[in-house]
Chains A and B, each alone.
Chain A
């Protein structure tokens, strides 16, 4: 409802608007770190009255006539990106750049040249779809997105298939990890960073090093087996010491546009001279081993300043990035959960009734009370 203003309101229930829609009665929904960018006003095209939320699951209560893969009563997890499954990008499993799901393509094209996929609850640049921090949500292309949960695992164990587990996993997969050999450094140990660390280990990384400043996040990363560096230290020297002087084979920027640590960027962002604060990205570029990979799951919205392109070019780095190609990862990762290889519920630190969501936002954004991940209960 304006910068740093979120409130809970009673609105009309969503309706089926297209033949491939479904309506989900939400049983669990979460606040994502990318909602912080919306909350702080750094993603343009969010409008007053927009409904946030893109990490949710629930029960199908209504389906459009063209949805043959779901039935009323199915328990589903809904991906945050909306993909048609038919365009060339979807056929190539590049689901997050689907051609056909962003009704505001002209807005996105003006900013980016070509429009990426629609995203639930994430500003009008990505379609203006009403989100899932609510009791009910409309899910377009329901025959492509939501996956059925046909086990009795509790919501907490499967909810994060909606975004952060696949997002962390895709970021780790992008690092081309050689099992038993690769060293991966992860900037930012918020929820996506935590999943990136665990995913890197699942893919066989010899060593994962995390760079962050918050003790509770350090503890969570260390519980997964990561080595840790405080972001206030000389990160380059510390990384060299931990890698025999080589530097990490791959770096993951799980921070994105609101990195802390650079007063220069803070001022420029406030003055609108740059839209994003790329402190973590700059450091990752500098620290990554020659011919290494920089993987960027952290969200950027616009322009960044003082990117060390010389370092990137001369060291021969490879950059991989993008919103997550959700539909490619949800089913295989559900199998990992079912097989007991990972229990995503480790990340939850706070549970809040949806009716109190307005209070949960500042708690999460300001990382108070050791808050890492908030799950909202729509029934309460």
Chain B
């Protein structure tokens, strides 16, 4: 099954640039059990600049808020390690299966991955002077039958919000050079006023 068909239908531009290399069937998780997430953000930077950041996959560690480690094994292969509940880690190797300079990157996990996953990011000119529309489609297959399906239901929102959060951080970093934060700022202590102290 292809990922969220209606949402990742490629534009004419992407299809033209991709030529015969474009195949939706390739960015897929087997069966129809995957959790599908599509999120988008508009960034006031040229597509080429955004693509270049994303194509160097370990850069994504800066924008993914969840603890993750990404190692490039070759130009098209990378190793991902994500912390999971109860101190566990989920690891997999990912393969870039479609790469259209300044337009599209698509990837999927290698066969046998514990959590099968696939995804794509598209960079398309937004209307007028708005910049570039960046759309991420992600699909993953949580392990474990019925329990997995339940987890899937529970995690659908959080997967969506994590992808969106990463896109917001990506936008801030690209547009301003930094990601906004309040971590490390001073904060008041427990209330003391009622005990009559200053």
Contacting pair B180 A100 (CB below 8 A): yes
Contacting pair A51 B187 (CB below 8 A): yes
- Assembled-state Cα–Cα distance A194/B171 (Å): 39
- Assembled-state Cα–Cα distance A130/B186 (Å): 7
A100-B171, A100-B172, A127-B182 known; A91+B188 contact, CB < 8 A? no
Among B42, B180, B188, B193, which residue has its beta carbon within 8 angstroms of that of A102? B180
Contacting pair B175 A51 (CB below 8 A): no
Chain A: minimal CB distance from B131 (Å): 7
A12-B186, A100-B180, A127-B180 known; A7+B175 contact, CB < 8 A? no
Range, interface on chain B: 20 to 34
Chain B interface SS verdict (over half)? loop
| Cβ–Cβ < 8 Å partners of A85 in chain B | 176
Which of the 9-residue segments A16-24, A176-184, A342-350, A365-373 touches chain B? A16-24
Interface residues of A in 15-56 (CB under 8 A from B): 15, 17-20, 48-51
- Assembled-state Cα–Cα distance A168/B153 (Å): 49
| Cβ–Cβ < 8 Å partners of A358 in chain B | 193
Contacting pair B185 A138 (CB below 8 A): yes
Chain A: minimal CB distance from B194 (Å): 8
| Cβ–Cβ < 8 Å partners of B146 in chain A | none
Q: Which residue of A lies closest to B184 (CB)?
A: A17
Q: Does A355 contact B (CB under 8 A)?
A: yes
Q: Does A2 contact B (CB under 8 A)?
A: yes
Chain B: minimal CB distance from A131 (Å): 10
Interface residues of B in 145-198 (CB under 8 A from A): 161, 165, 168, 171-172, 175-193, 198
- Assembled-state Cα–Cα distance A101/B171 (Å): 11
A91-B44, A106-B165 known; A1+B175 contact, CB < 8 A? no
Q: Contact residues of B with A, CB < 8 Å?
A: 42, 44, 129-131, 161, 165, 168, 171-172, 175-193, 198
Contacting pair B44 A86 (CB below 8 A): yes
> How many positions in chain A have a CB within 8 Å of any CB in the partner chain?
45
- Assembled-state Cα–Cα distance A130/B181 (Å): 11
Chain A interface SS verdict (over half)? loop
- Interchain residue pairs with CB less than 8 A apart (11): A7-B193, A11-B187, A15-B185, A51-B187, A82-B180, A86-B176, A87-B44, A100-B180, A103-B182, A127-B180, A140-B180
Q: Which residue of B lies closest to A6 (CB)?
A: B193
- Assembled-state Cα–Cα distance A88/B171 (Å): 11
Contacting pair B188 A49 (CB below 8 A): yes
- Assembled-state Cα–Cα distance A100/B190 (Å): 31
| Cβ–Cβ < 8 Å partners of B181 in chain A | 17-18, 103
Q: Does A193 contact B (CB under 8 A)?
A: no
Contacting pair B175 A100 (CB below 8 A): yes
Identify the 10 closest CB pairs spanning chains A and B, nearest first: A49-B188, A11-B186, A7-B193, A100-B172, A103-B180, A1-B191, A84-B176, A18-B178, A86-B175, A12-B186
